[in-house]
C-alpha cells in the first residue's frame, strides 16, 4: 500500500469498519430505481467479441504457464 493513492487511507479503521464512506447513495423505496447504474450496462447494448482462431490457438499453447497461479492472498 505504498502507492500515493492510498496515503490517506487508514487501514486499521477500514478493517474495523469505522470509516465514513466517501459517498452514500440515496436509496429510494422503489426497488426498480436504477439511477446509479450505467445505462450502457444493459444486456441489449453488449456485443459478442470475436477472437480469431489463430489467437485462440496461441493462447492455448501457453495456458499451462499459469497453472500454479493463485489469486488468493
**pLDDT tens-digit series, residues 13-57:** 989 999 988 888 888 888 888 888 776 666 666 677 788 999 988
Residue 11 falls inside a structural domain: no
Say how many domains are in the chain.
Answer: 1
Q: What is the pLDDT of residue 21?
A: 87
Cell output for 35: 439511477
User: Rounded to two decimals, what is the model's pTM?
Assistant: 0.35
pLDDT at 12 over 60: yes
- List Cβ neighbours of 25 (8 Å cut-off, separation of 6 or more): 36
DSSP E strand boundaries for the chain = none
Residue 2 falls inside a structural domain: no
Write the secondary structure of 6-17 as one string of H (helix), E (strand) and C (coil): HCCCCHHHHHHC
pLDDT at 1 over 90: no
The parent domain of residue 60 ranges over 38-67
Residue 10 falls inside a structural domain: no
pLDDT at 63 over 90: no
pLDDT at 9 over 60: yes
End-to-end CA distance of the chain: 14
Name the one residue in this structure whose C-alpha cell is 493513492.
Answer: 5
Residue 44 falls inside a structural domain: yes
Amino acid at each position: 500500500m505504498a502507492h500515493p493513492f492510498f496515503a490517506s487511507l487508514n487501514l486499521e479503521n477500514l478493517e474495523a469498519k469505522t470509516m465514513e464512506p466517501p459517498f452514500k447513495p440515496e436509496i429510494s423505496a422503489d426497488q426498480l430505481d436504477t439511477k446509479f447504474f450505467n445505462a450502457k450496462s444493459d444486456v441489449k447494448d453488449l456485443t459478442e467479441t470475436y477472437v480469431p482462431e489463430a489467437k485462440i490457438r496461441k493462447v492455448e499453447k501457453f495456458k499451462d504457464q499459469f497453472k500454479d497461479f493463485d489469486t488468493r492472498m
